[in-house]
Amino acid sequence: MEDVEGVVFYNPEMASIEDIDRVHLCAPSAQDLLSLSHFISAGGAIRAARARMDGEVERAFAIVRPPGHHAMQTVFGDRGFCVANIEAVMVEYIRRHYGVRKIAIVDTDCHHGDGTQDIFYNDPDTLFISMHQDGRSLYPGTGFPEEYGGPAAPGLTLNIPLPPGTSEEGFAMVMERVVAPALDDFGPELIINSAGQDNHYSDPLTDMNFTAQGYARLTKDLNADICVLEGGYSIEGALPYTNLGILLAMADMDTSCVAEPDYRPERFVQTKEMNNSIEKLCQQSLDIFTSRESLRKKSSGQDSVVQRRRIFYDTTGFEVGETKVYHLCPRCPGYTEVAAVGQGRHLHGFCVGFFSCLKCQQKAQDRYGKTKPSSDTKVILQDKKANLFTSK
C-alpha cells in the first residue's frame, strides 16, 4: 500500500504519562503498569488523530498493538490483553488539544468494549456503540442492552449482543437500523471506530462469520474519521485480508477483489431465526436511544448515584472491588468519585470532566484536599478541565 497514491504512512510517537493519567487511575502508577509497547501503541493512536485533525489526511487508521478497549478507568493490571485504553487516550487528547466536544465511538470488535464503556459511561458528549458476540458466550461477559449509560448520559451507551454465527447480513442490519440513525441524531464532530477484526470466521477465539468483504462494507458505511485496530487473532487467515479491506475502503478505493482464498458467500447465509433475533435487538437498542430524555428524567433531582461491582482481571486471575459515585449536577455532568481495591492496593479518586462546571470542579478539588492517603491507599485528583493530574 505504500506505493498507492493518496495513502501515506506515519511512524507512531510516544504517549506521555500525562496522556495516560488524563484517562486512567492506575495502581500503583502508569509508570509501573505500562510497558514501552503500551506508550507506543497509545502514541500511534494519537499520531493518527493529529494527522486527521491537522488536515494531513482525510481519514486515519492506527494499526497498532497492544489493543486497549478492555482497560477501564481504574487499572490494576492487564485485562483481555489491554492495560491502556488507546482509543480513550486518543479521544481525550483530541478534546484537550483540539477542543472537540461531541464524539462517537463505534466498537466493532467481537468482544464487548467494556473498558471504553466504563470510561465514557456518564459522559453526555460521547456516544458509545458496541456490536459484539453475546457476552453469555464470550469474554468479558458484559455488553447487554440494559447497560445503557450513567445518570448523566442514559441512552448514549448502546450495546448490541449478537448471536454466535452472525455474518455480513447481521452486521449490515445493525449498521442500517441502529448505528446510522443514532449517529445522524447525535451529530458527532468525530466518529471513531474501534476496529477489532476478531469477528472473522477464521478467528480462533470467537464464533462469528464475518468476512473481509463485510469489514470493507462496514468501513464504507460507517465512514469513520479515525479507525484504531483492536482484536483479531487469525494472523494468516484473516488479518491480511481484513486490514486490506479496511484500508481500501477508507481510501475510497475498489474493494471488490478483496477476498480470502476460501471465501464462499453461500457459507455465510443467516437463518430466518437469527435474522429475527437481530431485528429485535436492533429495535430494542433504537428504543433505548430514542428514550434517552425520559431516562434522564429518572435521575433528575438526585444528588448522587452509586454503582458497585467486581472487575475480573483474566490475565493474572484476580478481582478488583470498585465503587463509583456519580455526583450529579443540574448544570453539567457533575464529577465522579471512585474507590477501588485489589492486589492489596487501594485507589480513591476524584475525577472532573472537560465540561464539568466550575462549582463541581471546586467540589472535587476540595474533596481531594480533605481526603488523607494511607500506607495502602493512593488518593488521586484527575481534573481534565484544569489539565491537572496529581496524587498523594
Is residue 364 within 8 A of residue 381, CB to CB? The reply is yes
The span from the CA of 20 to the CA of 354, in Å, is 15
CA distance 389 to 101: 20
Torsion of CA 287, 292, 296, 298, to 10 degrees: -10
Q: Which among 24, 38, 69, 70 is annotated as catalytic?
A: 70
N-terminal to C-terminal alpha carbon distance within the chain: 49
* Cα pseudo-dihedral 11, 24, 226, 146, rounded to 10: 150
28: Cβ–Cβ under 8 A, 6 or more apart, which residues?
345, 378
Taking CA atoms, 90 is separated from 68, 98, 128, 200, 391, in Å, by: 11, 11, 15, 26, 23
Q: What does the DSSP 8-state code read for residue 300?
A: T
Query: Do 328 and 152 form a contact (C-beta atoms < 8 A)?
Result: yes
Pull the grid cell for residue 334. Answer: 457533575
Q: How many CA atoms lie within 13 A of 63 on its CB side?
A: 12
327 is catalytic: no
- DSSP letter for 189, please: S
Q: Is the dihedral of CA 90, 81, 218, 279 positive or negative?
A: negative
Active centre residues (catalytic): 70
